[in-house]
Structure 1
Amino acid sequence: MADTTGQTPSPIISDLLHNGHEFSFPQVMRLARTVLGSGGEYELPEIPWQERVRVRPDLSFAFPAADVARIEQDGSDLQVTATFLGLYGSSSPLPAFYTEDLMDEASNDSSVSRDFLDILHQRLYQLYFACWSKYRIFIRMEEEKNLLDRERLFCLIGLGEKELRDSVPDAWSLVRYAGLLTQFPRSAEGLQTLLRDSLGVSRLEVEQCVLRKVPIPVDQRMSLGISGMRLGVDTVLGSEIADRMGKFRILVGPLKKKEFDSFLPGTPQHNKLLGLIRLYVLDPFDFDLKVTLAAGEARPITLGDAAGPRLGWNTWCFSGETLGAVSTIFSPAHSKAKAPAPAEDECDDTPESTEPPTLLDYYKKELALLRDLANDYIKIHPDMAPLVSGHMADSGVERLLEGTAFLNAHLRMKIEDDFPEVIHNVIHAIQPNYLRPIPATTIIAFTPKANCTEPHLIPVGTELKSIPVDGTECRFTTSYPVEIHPLALTNASFAQPPGKPAAITLNLKLTGCALKDWQLNSLRLFLAGEHKDALNLYLVLMRYLKRIVIAPAQGGQPVILGAEQLKAVGFEDTDLLFPNDASGSTSQQVLHEYFIQPDKFLFIDLHGWEKWRERGDGTEFEIRFELDMLPFALHQVSKADFTLFATPAVNLFRHQAEPITIKESIARYPILPFGGNNRHYAVHSIKGVTGLVDKISEKIQFISSQCNPQSSLAPVFQVTRSRSHAHEGVDTFVSVEAPPKFKLQNMGLYVDLLCSNGNLPEKLQAGDICKNTDNSPEIAGFANCKPVKRSAQVNPRNGCLWMLYSLCNLNLASFDAKSLRAVLDTASQAYDSDYMTTKNHSDRIKGLTELQIKAIDRVYGKSMLRGWEIRFVLNHESFDSPGEQYLFGALLEHFLSGFATQSSFTKTTAEVLQDGKKYEWPMKMGRRALV
């Protein structure tokens, strides 16, 4: 068809018009997008390019030789005739007489029926092209400029947050090194490969174990009158130590003069090298750069030289005309320049976080698109208007359009899926809880009964029930072990007598045994008062405690314990709220649990009971926490502020799924919890899958295929999750595979689940979880002493899983206050929360105003250790109380120290912006405190 626009067609259009059959359909659409789309020669900004490419099947029974039969031009638009995926033509799934009728119609110069079917074809071919490009990442990045895919690629290398990307020169170029940046542990060889390729320098090596002379910190130098200085054990004479374990050197060269100058401090090449090193190296190693100038390249110093000779860097004194190879060493301190901001064409337009469209949203959009196409059809065939549109439209036409829109909506929802399965297996291996809904949580307090006369351990996982809610009893399991004693708290008070230290006193009484016969290792207390008061009490006991006095009411002798005998609970791997089967660090789970149930951190353990030997024959005693000068006034402390024998509990329990029968035609099966009302149960995770062969009753145990090296030799199951069309959150599916010797057809599957009661527990009040189960303790009663925290669904919006994966690849050295706030925001939004909860999290995160992380050296024994000094500043105006501020600081200390490797230590200090008050934490080597 000739060009009717009167203008000379572009070479691309001309080639398509004359040789259209030589192109595949995706190639045609890509070229059309280039010419008709944004920035194209024939762009019409008001009309999307997809609407200017009309696609219809070829009306022929001939065997197709290619995807495309021909391409014609209609004005400035294109009309493509395809040979596949049509409702008529040689590839049609419909009976042949439909195509024959259309051919008869065409022979009479009519196209009413064909044009009507093309309403469906137009949208079908557009969606086909979208499906084709979905998994071709290069095309989506380079041609479609897909910002979401770009962000996901950054997540692979730990730069998911824009604030982190801005701290690295030319961040986009680092995506190609994802294979290196996701390897742990990091190696000198990996660094060498990264630098050689990124800087374009082949003559580059990494020299390890470089000797350095390290000054001993002033507070650790040997001096008379300082404790802990043991001759021959942990003392070092002098003011410095020789060390080979804390430094490496980058060797570059020999280079030509121009190349040599490009590595001088302050140059883009030098800044890029420093940025790459700090991104790649996880340990706080010292390093320097040794650049060698090739023999004969040195030049005499010339005053006024435009090249700018720089003394000590690229100038040498020598006689004669030539000089051999010479080197200069640059330390990182020579370059203080901040990484340049990304160029304008590389700036990240991070997609805004929006509510993900539902199936109904997609259906409405697709139906509107089809009706727009129907209106175009009416313009060509006005006689068909009464049948196709309006309130008198034919019901069959309406059902056809609605059914097509429904199918298209499902397809489009999959194309634009923001909860893609491609990331699920990776997340399942490192942090599987990111894929699981968060169950409701609370705090349970046990009360010993009269028959409790000796210690009794209530293990983790003890199951408890609530009163019925809408006919269903909600089941909870305990998260901490609880050691029950025949002990009761009779009183608690705070006093500050004149001339004496302020003290919090707890009065306790034993039942059924004397103090001298009572044995315990530690006593756990829960700070059960109002949340603000409990947090302030937590701060006072953790930071202003001078000593602890335990004294009997009659007879015996008191014992004095140091403040170190009172320890915080909630940060250790054994203190996790939810089941953990992750392979990575638990620091991220602790962070998430803080945002979900902060009360889990309000537990404290009192140790040192073995030091109290002279207890007497009585049954009553007191614990007195003597305090230093307090910076604020405490509330009126009472018995209600402390609870014995408490534990967090989560709404998780073992349950069975509805039985499944394997059918050959079904690839995966939805998991439905067994029971009368499925809405009262939600799947958290799958614990096991058992197959039962019909007739012979042989049981087959399926194993998980994820991260299992034996998955190809045994029957396996795989769990997949997708956004639910019926409710908020995700649906869980299971699929099974087995070697040929196992006959799966008609096999029954029995799935063992870990379930919750979904949103049902939100209706429970304090005291409602009080009913026994088969494994509830008989020697104690119980009830929840706190309201139930609501459950939460996985957040499927805007690539949240990709952002969470990015957290697993972060480097401590790359953090500043802005990037850490962004990371904390991501973590706090991993699950859907109500508005007020989200706002409270955001306010606290904004309270982090400053963060400094630098490498330091400390003497440990006779060796010099390299580690991180972390200092952050908090604005108390972002917190409801000093206690809330302190707990948030303790959480940051735990979270940040989790990024340090096992061979480096962390030394953390928090500072309050307004009054300069400082909180210091002990140095840690990994998770172990250094003495």
Structure 2
Amino acid sequence: MQPFRTGLFMTTDQESLLEYYNRELSYLRRMGAAFAEQYPKIAGRLELEADQCPDPHIERLIESFAFLTARIQHTLESEFPQLSSTLLGVLYPQFLNPVPSMTIARFDADPTRTGITSGHLIPKNTPLFALSEQGNTCRFRTCYPVMLWPVTVTYAGFESTDQFDFLDNAPNTALVLRIRIETPGAIGDLTGMHRLRFYISGDRILTNALYELIFCHVQRAAVLPKKGGRPAFLSDEAVLPVGFDEGEDVLPYPPNAHRGYRLLHEYFTFPKKFLFFDLDLNQADFLNAQGFSPDDQQFDILFMLDQMPGERLVIDRNTFCLGCSPVINLFKKVTDPIRVTRRLPEYPLNPDSRREKITEIHSILSVSASADARDGSTEVAPFFSFNHKMERKGQQAFWHANRMGHDRKDIPGTRMHISFVDLDSAAGRHCHTRQTHCPDTSPSERSRFMASDITLVTELSFIGQKQGKSQFIA
């Protein structure tokens, strides 16, 4: 699993204020020493020295003044990023949001069940639940749709071209990558298996080198029957990359953002999402080829390579995984209601007061307000946005959120506060005391889990006789 944390809001207010305080106190002592050296008579009455002041009252006065100036300096400098952060929040909000935990989940059909003749679709955004070592339940959701077939990879390896007679007249083929597929039933009984999606599993050096071989050095791909014979060659575009099209996104992105930014962002935060490839089998063609029998339970997929792989490139059947999808620790949730008064300039957002230590807000999706529980809610627009047409419809209040480092050391990550203003920047002037706001947020778990720290507890019950489970493999 990929643990990430943005570095914009890591320092807490107390830690940064302590740095300002020590800096101001050191400056006052240096200036006090210089003043004592230049005006010894006056400094003698104040008892100023370079390191400390013998008079405890003067010493406390210096420390109090250092704390006051440090607080002012801290407040001034902490307000400088608000303009740039707000501008980024309007144009590129994805760069301000923390990156949730992501990993790869694999779904396996129950091999003890028979009679499966078609694939089962596990749609995108299917929820999964995992348990951490601390006993916390973590919510994930799938990012790719998964078509689960009752087939498994039983062998994968590199083989010499001498084992294949049909390659005698192919001098440009240096090596053959063979992947063996088996099914508990007959291949001819499987209906609609026109495409298989593989995930390349392993360490980064292995997966990157293998990905380059498949997409840069494959001359042709073919399907070979169990008993040998002539292979059924696939089309030149049979091997397709995954993760670049619309709908294959992992991180949420605004519609106005360039697609290239999303690809770069996802590559540098979770490159494993691109280690997939689709193989267009065209089942009807290879079953009708010479040597194939509908009763076979096994066939081989061959990739003819024009380049020899490195000696350290060792693969096995676990290198190519079926039924996989990236999953992300991100979900929707309504925060605890906020009763707006004019006593506070801003209000803390708590997605779950019982799970504050392990839940962090990723982004605010919408904010609704209600003056009475029996009345319907009204959506509140953000203060910084591209248009304020809601004002013409009677919109009087807008919301603005601020993200900062958490002030408690035992809680990692960031916290968010929300404030309500009008177009004249008057805080809370049009927010009634009895009005309650409920922001709809997209939180994630604060802890950054590794794959070994969590245990999947979700079991998928498929329709009819199909049943299976999933597990984390990254």
TM range (shorter): 0.7 to 0.9
TM, length-normalised to structure 1: 0.42
Which structure carries more relative contact order (alpha carbon 8 Å, separation 6+)? 2
1:467 is matched with 131
User: Does the aligned pair in 1 maintain the 2:117–2:191 contact within 8 Å?
Assistant: no
User: Does the aligned pair in 2 maintain the 1:545–1:563 contact within 8 Å?
Assistant: no
Residues 411 and 606 (structure 1 numbering): CA distance in 2 closer, same or farther, change over 3 Å? Answer: farther
User: Does the aligned pair in 1 maintain the 2:141–2:329 contact within 8 Å?
Assistant: yes
* Alpha-carbon distance, 1:402 to partner: 4.4
Tell me the distance in 2 between the aligned counterparts of 1:702 and 1:776.
41
Tell me the distance in 1 between the aligned counterparts of 2:341 and 2:59.
35
Tell me the distance in 2 between the aligned counterparts of 1:539 and 1:710.
50
Q: Counterparts in 2 of 1:277-356, with a 5 A limit?
A: none
1:367 is matched with 25
User: Does the aligned pair in 1 maintain the 2:370–2:436 contact within 8 Å?
Assistant: yes
Structural RMSD (CA): 3.7
* Alpha-carbon distance, 1:435 to partner: 0.5
2:20 alignment partner AA: Y
* Alpha-carbon distance, 1:772 to partner: 1.6
Tell me the distance in 1 between the aligned counterparts of 2:218 and 2:332.
43
Residues 775 and 703 (structure 1 numbering): CA distance in 2 closer, same or farther, change over 3 Å? Answer: farther
2:439 is matched with 751
Q: Counterparts in 2 of 1:535-550, with a 5 A limit?
A: 535-550=208-223
1:686 aligns with 2:361: no
User: Does the aligned pair in 1 maintain the 2:361–2:416 contact within 8 Å?
Assistant: yes
2:74 alignment partner AA: M
What is the CA deviation profile of residues 353-402 of structure 1, one whole-angstrom value per residue up to 9, with x for unaligned ones?
xx98923211211233445566659963644549x9646614x972x654
Tell me the distance in 2 between the aligned counterparts of 1:679 and 1:489.
41
Residues 774 and 638 (structure 1 numbering): CA distance in 2 closer, same or farther, change over 3 Å? Answer: closer
1:782 aligns with 2:458: no
1:380 is matched with 42
User: Does the aligned pair in 1 maintain the 2:366–2:439 contact within 8 Å?
Assistant: yes
**What's the secondary structure of 2:389's corresponding residue?**
coil
Residues 695 and 488 (structure 1 numbering): CA distance in 2 closer, same or farther, change over 3 Å? Answer: closer
**What's the secondary structure of 2:253's corresponding residue?**
coil
1:771 alignment partner AA: V
2:294 is matched with 617
Q: Which runs of 5+ in 2 are unaligned?
A: 1-9, 168-172
Tell me the distance in 1 between the aligned counterparts of 2:461 and 2:56.
65
Tell me the distance in 2 between the aligned counterparts of 1:744 and 1:527.
56
* Alpha-carbon distance, 1:745 to partner: 1.7
**What's the secondary structure of 1:570's corresponding residue?**
coil
Q: Counterparts in 2 of 1:209-288, with a 5 A limit?
A: none
User: Does the aligned pair in 2 maintain the 1:474–1:761 contact within 8 Å?
Assistant: no
1:668 aligns with 2:346: yes
Match of 1:428 among 81, 89, 111: 89
1:717 aligns with 2:399: yes
Tell me the distance in 1 between the aligned counterparts of 2:76 and 2:461.
48
Aligned-residue sequence identity (percent) comes to 24
* Alpha-carbon distance, 1:773 to partner: 8.1
2:419 is matched with 735
Residues 724 and 627 (structure 1 numbering): CA distance in 2 closer, same or farther, change over 3 Å? Answer: same
Residues 691 and 495 (structure 1 numbering): CA distance in 2 closer, same or farther, change over 3 Å? Answer: same
Q: Counterparts in 2 of 1:22-171, with a 5 A limit?
A: none
Tell me the distance in 2 between the aligned counterparts of 1:534 and 1:635.
9
Q: Counterparts in 2 of 1:880-899, with a 5 A limit?
A: none
Tell me the distance in 2 between the aligned counterparts of 1:684 and 1:419.
23
Tell me the distance in 1 between the aligned counterparts of 2:339 and 2:406.
22
**How many matched pairs?**
428
* Alpha-carbon distance, 1:526 to partner: 0.6
Residues 527 and 418 (structure 1 numbering): CA distance in 2 closer, same or farther, change over 3 Å? Answer: farther
User: Does the aligned pair in 1 maintain the 2:123–2:145 contact within 8 Å?
Assistant: yes
Tell me whether 775-784 or 514-523 shows the greater mean CA deviation.
775-784
Q: Which runs of 5+ in 1 are unaligned?
A: 1-354, 787-931
1:393 aligns with 2:85: no
* Alpha-carbon distance, 1:708 to partner: 4.0
User: Does the aligned pair in 2 maintain the 1:516–1:614 contact within 8 Å?
Assistant: no
TM, length-normalised to structure 2: 0.78
Tell me the distance in 2 between the aligned counterparts of 1:775 and 1:753.
30
2:400 alignment partner AA: Q
The structure carrying a bigger strand percent of its residues is 2
Tell me the distance in 1 between the aligned counterparts of 2:354 and 2:265.
33
User: Does the aligned pair in 2 maintain the 1:684–1:754 contact within 8 Å?
Assistant: yes
User: Does the aligned pair in 2 maintain the 1:430–1:582 contact within 8 Å?
Assistant: no
**What's the secondary structure of 1:621's corresponding residue?**
strand
Larger radius of gyration: 1
* Alpha-carbon distance, 1:748 to partner: 2.1
1:691 alignment partner AA: A
1:441 is matched with 102
* Alpha-carbon distance, 1:532 to partner: 1.3
Tell me the distance in 2 between the aligned counterparts of 1:551 and 1:371.
83
Residues 773 and 752 (structure 1 numbering): CA distance in 2 closer, same or farther, change over 3 Å? Answer: farther
**What's the secondary structure of 1:679's corresponding residue?**
coil
1:480 aligns with 2:144: yes
What is the CA deviation profile of residues 560-606 of structure 1, one whole-angstrom value per residue up to 9, with x for unaligned ones?
11342101222333332211114131212212222222222211111
User: Does the aligned pair in 1 maintain the 2:461–2:468 contact within 8 Å?
Assistant: no
Q: Counterparts in 2 of 1:508-527, with a 5 A limit?
A: 508-511=181-184, 514-527=187-200
What is the CA deviation profile of residues 198-248 of structure 1, one whole-angstrom value per residue up to 9, with x for unaligned ones?
xxxxxxxxxxxxxxxxxxxxxxxxxxxxxxxxxxxxxxxxxxxxxxxxxxx
2:329 is matched with 651
What is the CA deviation profile of residues 494-538 of structure 1, one whole-angstrom value per residue up to 9, with x for unaligned ones?
201427442211121234564354213421101112321222211
2:380 is matched with 702
**What's the secondary structure of 1:489's corresponding residue?**
strand
Residues 379 and 427 (structure 1 numbering): CA distance in 2 closer, same or farther, change over 3 Å? Answer: farther
* Alpha-carbon distance, 1:552 to partner: 3.9
1:594 is matched with 267
User: Does the aligned pair in 1 maintain the 2:198–2:276 contact within 8 Å?
Assistant: yes
User: Does the aligned pair in 2 maintain the 1:491–1:508 contact within 8 Å?
Assistant: yes
* Alpha-carbon distance, 1:556 to partner: 11
Residues 698 and 485 (structure 1 numbering): CA distance in 2 closer, same or farther, change over 3 Å? Answer: same
Tell me the distance in 2 between the aligned counterparts of 1:463 and 1:775.
13
Match of 1:416 among 77, 94, 101: 77
